[in-house]
Structure 1
Amino acid sequence: MDPVTHGLIGATASQSFADKRNFRAAALTGLASAMLADLDVFLGSTSDPLLNLELHRQFTHSIVFIPIGALIATILLWWFVKKYLTVKETYLFSLAGYATAGLTDYFTSYGVLLLWPFTDTRYSLDIISVFDPLFSIGVIAFAGMAFYKRKQLFAWLALGWIALYLLFGFAQQQKATDVARQLAGDKNHEIRQLIVKPTIANNWLWSIRYTTNDSLHAAGVKLLPFTEPEIFPGDQTVLLNWQEEYESFKGTTLYNDITRFSELSDSVLIRHPNHEQVIGDGRYSMLPTTLSPLWGIKVDTTQPNQHVQFGAYRDAGEEVKERFLQMLF
């Protein structure tokens, strides 16, 4: 989730049990604590590009790490709030704020290692975009009123808005899932893996991806209240059988990096249509109907003992923007 909304949800959690005496200090503590977990974007290695991806939303977002993260936040923030909060209060408000970090990312896509170190499974509900302005505006309005008036009521209204919007997202996802199963059924496809998530900045245009034995299929669907779903047929492509194609490189850094990227991509790997050497994450593209990966790894078989290069391949040209807006509105 975007940093601003992350912080405001943390502030809301802290405001929900603060009193007037320490209300604003509690809000700022919760805000900073919620944003602290995302400092993991700075972890990594220049020589190993995939390490940053593996560490993002990893231990800093784990449930087990919440008390430790709150302690770190308390140490960092205590000198700024000691006039208004005791050490115990600072820790409790930090705990409330930090606890929202992993949970809010869990509602988005890509995945969070909530149960690290017990499992390396990434969990995600895919019911809200990582950036949704309508959702954020509601949080900003209620959290802002709570901060200005120093009243818990508005903090609870903010939490109510968050819950209602997430329930709406869940309902939308169920509708999109029904559409996906219908599309697959009409083509006599047996779904092996189904990925249904909202497109960027909204909750009514949804991306559908599903795999069959050897192929990945894409489609989009617009879900507006009191109207029939509007379906946008999409592309299909062959899934990359990388284990077979790169079997001769087993044991090399190259092969190990492809294995790591496959795990990060939930095993949905395809060739980038515009970059022959790039293996892309087939779950994400600029449009719900296309299979042009947003990011991927460049494989150089002439250097099997070197780490692969990771890159972004976003096509944000006018044609793509126009097509997205046409589907959206």
Structure 2
Amino acid sequence: MDPLTQGLVGATAAQSGAKKDQLRPATFTGAVSAMIADLDYYIHIPSDPLFNIEIHRQFSHSFIFIPVGALIASFVLWWFLKRYLSFKELYFYSILGYATAGLLDTFTSYGTQLLWPFLDTRFAWNLISVIDPVVTVGLLLLIGLGIYKKEKQYAWFAGGWLIFFLLFGWFQHQRATASVKNLAESRGHQIEELVVKPTIANQRVWRANYIANDIIYADAIRTGLISGIKIYEGQSAPQINIEEDFSDFEGTLMYNDLLRFKRLSENFLVRHPDYPEVIGDARYSMLPTRLTPLWGVKTDTTKTNTHLPFLYFRDASDEVRKEFLRMLLGR
């Protein structure tokens, strides 16, 4: 999730296990420790743009790295908190905070390698958006009250607040998944791969992508509570088959990068409608009904031994915002 929410959840975990007289330094320790895991975002190899995408949410978010990550956080924080906590206490609160980082990100999309290095699978449960202001504000208020009153019962309330939204997300996800399966069946499609995930900052409008007969479909599912389910049918586009479409370049650096991007995108690959040389991740777009990818790699068959550039395509125009708002409000 976003760094602020990540820190607040780490603070919640540390605060819940803190002694009353150590509640404030424990809260700070948990918050910083949880955010340290996301420093992997800054690991780059300039000549290999895909490396940063692969390394993010990898080793630093795995279960096995928790003791190491907490130790790093403890060494960093020791110079600031040694007047308030022993190193043993500091390490304990760091573990509580750092342990939340990988697990929390798993509830969002993109994928987290919790079992690295034993398994390179990216787990993504798609229950909550990477940015959800309602969740964040609730956590901020409850953690703030805990710090102000030096009462860790507020940390339990904060934990309950987060669990409520995760359970609500699971319930909404199940409804959206069932709806898109019914939609595909009504179209006469046999779903081969399916991804359903929340759109930005809410658990009402869900983006559904599925593959059927080498075609990728994008639809929006609005899961209202009183108004029920509303479906906004979206675009479709041919799925890119790397092994077939680029077979002439097998063994080149370009081909290997395409296979890497295929794995990162779970094989949801489409060509950008405005830039045919760009192969994008069909799971992410500014609107849940569109297949204009937010990011992708640019192919150049004249430079097959050079790593592929990784490009972003963001369109936050008034038209896009109004269309998204229309779906969010169920119009």
Matched, 1:19 2:7: no
Q: Within 2, Cα distance between the matches of 1:168 and 1:285?
A: 24
Determine the structure 1 residue equivalent to 2:119.
119
Deviation at 1:135, TM superposition (A): 1.1
Q: Within 2, Cα distance between the matches of 1:148 and 1:160?
A: 19
Determine the structure 1 residue equivalent to 2:310.
310
Q: TM-score with structure 2 length normalisation?
A: 0.98
The one-letter amino acid of 2:248's match is S
Determine the structure 2 residue equivalent to 1:248.
248
Where structure 2 has 5 or more consecutive residues not aligned to the other structure, the ranges are none
Deviation at 1:309, TM superposition (A): 0.4
Shifted more, 88-97 versus 137-146: the winner is 137-146
Determine the structure 1 residue equivalent to 2:146.
146
Q: Within 1, Cα distance between the matches of 2:126 and 2:157?
A: 24
Q: Within 2, Cα distance between the matches of 1:148 and 1:43?
A: 37
Q: Within 2, Cα distance between the matches of 1:254 and 1:179?
A: 38
SS at match of 2:301: coil
Matched, 1:96 2:96: yes
Determine the structure 1 residue equivalent to 2:268.
268
Determine the structure 1 residue equivalent to 2:32.
32
Q: TM-score with structure 1 length normalisation?
A: 0.99
Matched, 1:300 2:312: no
Where structure 1 has 5 or more consecutive residues not aligned to the other structure, the ranges are none
SS at match of 1:275: coil
Matches within 5 A, 1:1-329: 1-329=1-329
Alignment coverage as a number of residue pairs: 329
Deviation at 1:213, TM superposition (A): 2.3
Shifted more, 313-322 versus 4-13: the winner is 313-322
SS at match of 1:100: helix
Q: Within 2, Cα distance between the matches of 1:279 and 1:147?
A: 48
The one-letter amino acid of 1:29's match is T
Identity of aligned residues (%): 50
Deviation at 1:317, TM superposition (A): 1.2
Write out per-residue CA displacement over residues 127-181 of structure 1, whole angstroms, 9 at most, x where no aligned residue: 0000011111111111111111111110000001111110000000000001011
Write out per-residue CA displacement over residues 170-221 of structure 1, whole angstroms, 9 at most, x where no aligned residue: 0000000010111001001000111111100111011111111210011101
Q: Within 2, Cα distance between the matches of 1:289 and 1:220?
A: 6
